[in-house]
Structure 1
Amino acid sequence: MEVHVRNLGPLKEAAVKLSPVTLFIGVNRSGKSILANAISAVTTAFAQAQWEYAKRHADKRLGKRVELRRLAQLFSEKFQEEVFNIPVKRGEREAVVSIKYGGALLTVSVDRAADFSAKGDIFEKAEKAVAETLLVSVRGDFSYEPYLHPWKTLGRCDRIYPEALRWIAKTFDIVLAGDAVYEGGNAFRHLSSMVESLVDLGRRGGCRNLVLEEPEAHLHDDAVFELAKFIYGQASGGRGFLVTTHSDLLAAWVAALAAHPDPGELGVELAGGRPEVRIYRFRLRAIGDAYVEEVDLSGGEVDMDELQLRVMEELSRALARVKNALRTA
């Protein structure tokens, strides 16, 4: 899926391609979360419209009295709840989000008053796909193959993620049983931020394509590596991950896994073929003015942000001083 935006938040213009693993990395206010949320908003509304379109046609086949609506109309209704996730760049009249998928195009324009329009041939192609794959039982159950699968943030996803629950239990010794959380065999009422973020992933992260916003924020360095391995392995089985992050460490691990000849040697459990990985760095020219660059992963390395690199070097020196002091004591 290709995404092109204009005048979205701090981004005058940006173009990205979503792979099974896509990372948006950059400092605060550079637009990475705004772009990720815009993608989630548009695709989620489209998926909801597809479902409503399929349900109306399923009811029609069962002989129920129902008004058939065009998919474009249904999308406009569903997007009303998402329109405020498309902020217009300061000084501009409207923001534009264009999504190209399967040779079809969807373009959504939002002005400063939150009025919007949507157009593109994706509506007709999705209607045809739903009609051709729609199956309806006599009990009223129905199924269909969506033309476009959504990218959902944890806030938009409400499905148990069994693979994540197993990974969390195996890696961190954290077990979820109903509303209870057990760490190391002990029940916890007051969760650490790290445990809480992992619990949230396990309980609400079961969507096919998932947007994770700064998942490394509450994880220590070893856990960041485990997260990179989990994401890479799960993506090999058909899931999609769009991750916003401040962490060059997470990006470096993902790049290393993508370049490694045998990720299994590093403990990655591949569910299928090797997933494609893309990393985009978001940079600020000034407050309110950002741009996006795709990171070259051909060497299997990611150039660390200069400021963060200096911070890590200083932390390494501080740690060395602590170790020397402990030896002396």
Structure 2
Amino acid sequence: MSEERLETAAPDWSAYRGVMIVVEHRRGTAKKVSWQLLGEGRKLADKLEAPLLALVIGHQAEHLAQEAIAYGADRVYLVEAPELLDYRTRPYSEICLKVFREVKPEIVLYGATATGRDLAGAIVTHLPTGLTADCTELDVEPHPSRLLMASRPAFSEKMMATILCKQYRPQMATARAGVFQALPKAPERTGEIVRMTETFEEASIAAKVLDFIEEVSHVNLEEAEVIVAGGRGMGGLEAFAMLRELADALGGEVGATRAAVDAGWVGHERQIGQTGHTVRPKLFFAVGISGAVQHTVGMQSSDIIVSINKDPEAPIFQISHYAIVGDLFQVVPAITAEIKARRGGLSMLETAAAGGV
């Protein structure tokens, strides 16, 4: 008996080219994650020998298109209308769908923010493709597959999963803020701005933005330039007041490991690591932190890492620029007192950058 085999031809995606970043902003001020994704997108586009594209949606937002070029974009698609001043799911997703179908980017990246997750989730329901969420690593296979290798923590954060979208385009992913590094801003850089017209009837948009209410106590670890983080070695809730004093002296924020959060010493909004925030501050203090991988993947890209631990063999020292072996309850107050004696927290950054803490 002869055996017949059904051969399935590989999809032809030759019409799809380019890596596109959807620029997120709040009334004309871009989120840092957008420029970080442009920096990573530049690497992917260069590997694919394809253009780096950006999509800017808003009102009177040409300055964002110029900024996108300064941060590495070769071509920016700009869609402006008064109804687009504030993010709303329906008009923004409709514009993205129209642009993707006309431009045909092979990869589309969004920030894994509240807005980015909402927008990407809305778009993927209308496109025959997949979406990898909360990525911490991105890479591409060059010719001939041109596949996006989107990696994210999986299986209770115990390992990394790399997800491929072999049968559909565009390949889409959201990526965490603070993971990737933006290129240096180059205002002299030139690129193309393509204006795309779109009209909306305000009455046809169900959602209305009435006002923005900023939380006074909002914790924004991704934007912080200085972070003082504590771990299990802090011993309890009261000890975090000591870290707050140091953070205040430096003009920074307090962070924590999962162990400290699970113990109830600080809120989950301050957790750093695979199941929390990924940060890239200029100065990171790791106090009483052993250095488990679950935590270090969220802070290892910090410019300067200063670790304080009584265990000279603590794994955290392996990724630290400065290691202090000692009792944190003596070391931290001493550092805080020294900083307060100087002209301000900035001098600490300057001193560390010059090679001494």
TM-score by length of 2: 0.26
Task: Point out the structure with the larger helix share.
Answer: 1
TM-score by length of 1: 0.28
